[in-house]
Structure 1
Amino acid sequence: MTTDPVRRTAWQAQSLLLSYPEQWLLDHRPLLRTATRALPDPLGAPLTAFLDHIDATPLIELAADYVATFDHRKRFSPYLTYFAYGDTRKRGMALLRFKHAYQAAGQRLGDSELPDHLAVVLEFAATGDPVVGQRLLTEHRAGLELIRLGLREASSPWAAVLESVSATLPPLGKREHEAVARLAAEGPPEEEVGLAPFAPPEYMPRAEGASR
């Protein structure tokens, strides 16, 4: 297992590369390349490959592909609690747990961000509390693996970033493999009829396609 400083560097780079691509991302490519070159190969090589893709792709195409991948296809949803709770009312409590974890570490999210967006969780793990951040990622490992496998199957360039994320976490055990297989076969839970909301409306899932 890699050391905390190494994982923090990897998580920060992954967070930036999994955010909606804008001009600032292009401006930070030299810094990102420097950071990824210092990482162990399982963490850094996939990120270098993705940076190569950024270099070869016009920004407008990169942004359009991001939206088509993450906003229009639920199987690649970057919102981790979706895979555990679907678009059900129970997801509200899960979102609150993420938010409270960030607040306990002295971090606050903007009103436009949901706390379970993978880029947000990775940034928290990198700049907030790495122990709690890793725990949040590990608790939602089945969803992460489903995204990774799906992106790889679709030959998406973002699969490389998820490969790097996976390399920062403990190897999958039997229970995790079973959870991934079950999630792939059954999909996220569906709404339970008559269930009262567990959290205020502002922490309930937004419409698919909303930005983080």
Structure 2
Amino acid sequence: MRTLKILGMLLGYPSGEQIKALPECLALLRKETWLPEASLTEIEALADWMQGQDLMDLQEEYVDLFDRTPSLSLHLFEHVHGDSRDRGPALVDLHNLYQEAGLMIAVHEMPDYLPLFLEYLSVLPPEQAAHDLSGAIDVIAAIGARLKNRKTPYAAIFGALEEAAERKPDDKAIAAALAEDAGAPLDNQQLDREWTEQFAFENSAQTNPEGGCPAAEDLVERMKESVNQAGTRSS
């Protein structure tokens, strides 16, 4: 299923190759008919906007959103436990899950990177992909809501992912996430503080007795559960 892989591609760092591929990608999205018309229209508007931007301006916009605003990070596990070492075991489990599905990733790639997660989902049967996507949909929806607050066309991708998931996001969880951080851009002092806290996390002992992050592990377990259920159905 190419729809999810295309949505992941649209979330990648902007490049000339990405922009050139947009017309073909839009045609494939319509051909696959996995998204409702409203989502397709919003994705097409995003593509039009991207094509109308100077590439360097588009890249700067991307970095401001996804690299310089922690609450918009495309690394899913950062939203459940920041940059602490607690991410490690969950990342390993997720990496193993990808390998079981036949997806090989580069050494420098982090398994919780949303475009990579969507590429993994794209190799699964549609029903299983929709189920696995639901395991991360609350985090995805919170990012999408923050992007809407920023009035950026990138929000269209997250709205489409909500439509593609098996279940709808938990409204209370999204409201709580927005109350904590609505996605506003950080000023220089906040950026410096975030940088400092990143290293503070690395030197702290905030793990559970088994050394993992419960929230992150729960996300992995939801994904594993769907894989195991699919294996049971096929046997």
Cα distance in 1 for partners of 2:88, 2:176 equals 23
Q: Greater helix percent: which structure? A: 2
Percent identity reads: 24
**Where in structure 2 are the equivalents of 1:107-186 lying within 5 Å?**
107-128=103-124, 133-172=129-168, 176-186=170-180
Cα distance in 2 for partners of 1:87, 1:131 equals 32
Where structure 2 has 5 or more consecutive residues not aligned to the other structure, the ranges are 182-199, 213-235
1:95 alignment partner AA: L
Partner of 1:21: 14
Deviates more, 1:123-132 or 1:52-61: 123-132
**Is the 2:5–2:119 contact (alpha carbons within 8 Å) kept by the matching residues of 1?**
yes
Deviates more, 1:109-118 or 1:126-135: 126-135
1:194 alignment partner AA: A
2:205 alignment partner AA: G
**Where in structure 2 are the equivalents of 1:1-212 lying within 5 Å?**
8-38=1-31, 39=33, 40-128=36-124, 133-172=129-168, 176-186=170-180, 193-195=204-206, 198=211
Where structure 1 has 5 or more consecutive residues not aligned to the other structure, the ranges are 1-7, 200-212
Deviates more, 1:137-146 or 1:12-21: 137-146
2:93 alignment partner AA: R
Cα distance in 1 for partners of 2:25, 2:176 equals 36
Shift, 1:131, TM fit: 5.5
Cα distance in 1 for partners of 2:119, 2:67 equals 20
After superposition, what is the alpha-carbon deviation per residue over 1:60-93, rounded to whole angstroms, capped at 9, x for unaligned? 1111111111000011000111112222322212
SS across alignment from 2:77: helix
Of structures 1 and 2, the larger Rg is shown by: 2
TM-score by length of 1: 0.78
Q: How many residues align?
A: 188
**Is the 2:121–2:129 contact (alpha carbons within 8 Å) kept by the matching residues of 1?**
yes
Cα distance in 2 for partners of 1:23, 1:128 equals 29
SS across alignment from 1:28: helix
Partner of 1:5: none
Cα distance in 1 for partners of 2:127, 2:110 equals 20
**Is the 1:124–1:130 contact (alpha carbons within 8 Å) kept by the matching residues of 2?**
no
Change in Cα spacing, 1:108 to 1:131, as seen in structure 2 (3 Å) is farther
SS across alignment from 1:156: coil
**Is the 1:142–1:183 contact (alpha carbons within 8 Å) kept by the matching residues of 2?**
no
Cα distance in 1 for partners of 2:164, 2:118 equals 11
Higher relative contact order (CA 8 A, sep 6+): 1
After superposition, what is the alpha-carbon deviation per residue over 1:27-83, rounded to whole angstroms, capped at 9, x for unaligned? 212211211333331442221111111121111111111111100001100011111
**Is the 1:10–1:44 contact (alpha carbons within 8 Å) kept by the matching residues of 2?**
no
